[in-house]
Chains A and B, each alone.
Chain A
Amino acid sequence: MSKVIVNAQMPLSYDSGQHNLLVFLEQHKQSVSFQCREGFCGACRCKLISGEVRYLQEPLAFVRKGEFLPCCSVPIGDISIEIPK
């Protein structure tokens, strides 16, 4: 189980073996933009403030340092993220 802090709010708990982070965030009523849900369009790009994520498949979309794609990743341990507005 890891903690996922979104936009500095109360932490949400993520059970390992759950879906990718995009599905997880949607289940917690967080609105994240998306298109492909497969890591190639970049629409879901979020900021990774602290912690680490693991990619389930290698993303093709451009990801800058300090950013990650929730549609194809899962957290490794606790993470804190920011969903762009």
Chain B
Amino acid sequence: MAYTTFNRNINDQLKEPMFFGNAVNVSRYDQQKYPIFEKLIEKQLSFFWRPEEIDVSKDRIDFQQLPDHEKHIFLSNLKYQTLLDSVQGRSPNVALLPIVSIPELETWIETWAFSETIHSRSYTHIVRNITAEPHKVFDDIMLNEKILERAQDVTRYYDALIDGVNLYQRCGEGNHNINGNIESITLRELKKRLYLCMMSVNVLEAIRFYVSFACSFAFAERELMEGNAKIIRLIARDEALHLTGTQHILNIMASGDDDPEMAEIARECEEDAYAIFMLAAEQEKDWAAYLFKDGSMIGLNKDILCQYVEYITNSRMQAVGLKPRFATTQNPIPWINTWLVSDNVQVAPQESEISSYLVGQIDNEVDSDEFGDFDL
């Protein structure tokens, strides 16, 4: 029950459920219950990139020339992205590692969260470049009410899970007197919190992030802030993988093959899951109103972004087995696909060079002329 960093129980890891079984002891991958997680790890590692590799220097000039309402859109969007990745860089580790029971999933969670820390560092790289006063941008995240409102819902399910797990691992199931308050916890309740937490993570990765990507790419469509867009493309590629990981977890849970109780919970929580999606969609629409409060930009305005919220919410709901709830069936910003496509497959029309995959590459072609001045 209490967490241990090296569980001495000799167990068959192949028989453990994804969560709430024995804590993992040996990190071994010679046998795997769900090989998909190791494949995700390999893919994620193959995506490795560093923000410093991307030249964002032209963005400074672009940014200075943006009208004020577009500066507001750009910076607010960046602050929101910073908030989302601040949460995602730590929460999967803090919330999920104490309860995970199979090694390949444990390592996927760590790999996933690590890649989010790269995203966080890249926002600093962007902000440092466009303003001489980066602290103003970051300080505002903790003061801006619109952002804090979103933080509330993004973190709520993680916090409820972490809180419940702490109580459970310390005291076990039942009613406990904690500093004079009676708090109760059951394993079933914890499983429910976990399921809802994964749904909310899916919403964060699959909807909230994409709404913010749309804004980043809308600038680049006009050949503005292209360094930023290059970074966001790399982030979007990572996020596509993360949300695939989360969808796998959710679907394995719902199938019941892993833990039959989890399938019951998934059925029981269906309405809650709908509510999480619908609330997030409403919040993202509110956010769109805030972004465009002082004016629209070419190619994107509040109405178009709201339609995109509906479109992407529908498609993400279907991916986890829910029915779409909005009437919108067409992507109102089809140009986003060109930006979202993986770098190595097709390069967006505005881009002249492929930004990733240059790490550690050396030009092996040396012409003999280059040794002309050599004396031995």
Main SS of the interface on chain A?
loop
Contact B43 A60 (CB under 8 A): yes
Contact A36 B248 (CB under 8 A): no
Contact A61 B244 (CB under 8 A): yes
Question: With an 8 A cutoff between CB atoms, is B61 at the interface?
Answer: no
Question: With an 8 A cutoff between CB atoms, is B296 at the interface?
Answer: no
Task: Tell me the residues in window 336-354 of chain B with beta carbons closer than 8 Å to chain A beta carbons.
Answer: 337, 340-342, 345-346
Residues of B within 8 A of A34 (CB): 337, 341
Residues of A within 8 A of B247 (CB): 42, 61-62
- Give the tally of cross-chain contacts (CB within 8 A): 59
Question: With an 8 A cutoff between CB atoms, is B241 at the interface?
Answer: yes
CA distance A45 to B241 in the complex (A): 15
Interface size on B, residues (CB 8 A): 26
Contact B248 A37 (CB under 8 A): no
Residues of A within 8 A of B244 (CB): 40-42, 60-62
- A-side interface residues toward B, CB under 8 Å? 31, 33-38, 40-43, 45, 58, 60-62, 64, 84-85
Contact A45 B319 (CB under 8 A): yes
CA distance A31 to B321 in the complex (A): 22
Contact A38 B342 (CB under 8 A): yes
Task: Give the contacting residue for A38; candidates B329, B334, B345; CB below 8 A.
Answer: B345
Question: With an 8 A cutoff between CB atoms, is B40 at the interface?
Answer: yes
Contact B340 A35 (CB under 8 A): yes
Residue of B nearest to A37 (CB): B345
Residues of A within 8 A of B248 (CB): 62
Task: Tell me the residues in window 275-326 of chain B with beta carbons closer than 8 Å to chain A beta carbons.
Answer: 315, 318-319, 321
In the assembled complex, the CB of B105 is this many whole angstroms from the nearest CB of chain A, namely: 15
Residue of A nearest to B244 (CB): A61
